[in-house]
Amino acid sequence: MRKFVWSLVAILTLSLALAGCGGGNDNAANNTGNNETSEPEKETAEPVKWVANSVWPPNNHHSEGLEAFAAKVKEATGGMVELEVKTGWSPWLQRTGTS
């Protein structure tokens, strides 16, 4: 009987949690009562720049592949994601100042 009660409590708790997270309409708070449809606002994202580290020297095939990958990422995202490739470099060395 005790297992049944705990199972029921768990199911009810999960049900309430999922209902609280419900997929409601985000525009409900902004509803002014008119039924006119308006064009949705477009979000503009800022470009992102990441550092891609390669401990190999610049002329190594690993570093060249990373450079090629960075170029493809930039092309595929329309320049919104850019990988700055650092070769022959270690973040640990920069952090500790032993470079």
- Rounded Cα distance between 10 and 4, Å, is 10
Predicted pLDDT of residue 16 = 73
Predicted pLDDT of residue 37 = 60
Predicted pLDDT of residue 72 = 95
| This model's pTM is above 0.75 | no
Segments in the chain below pLDDT 50? 98-99
Gyration radius (Cα) of the chain, Å: 26
- Side-chain-facing half-sphere of 2: CA atoms under 13 Å: 0
Predicted pLDDT of residue 99 = 46
Predicted pLDDT of residue 24 = 57
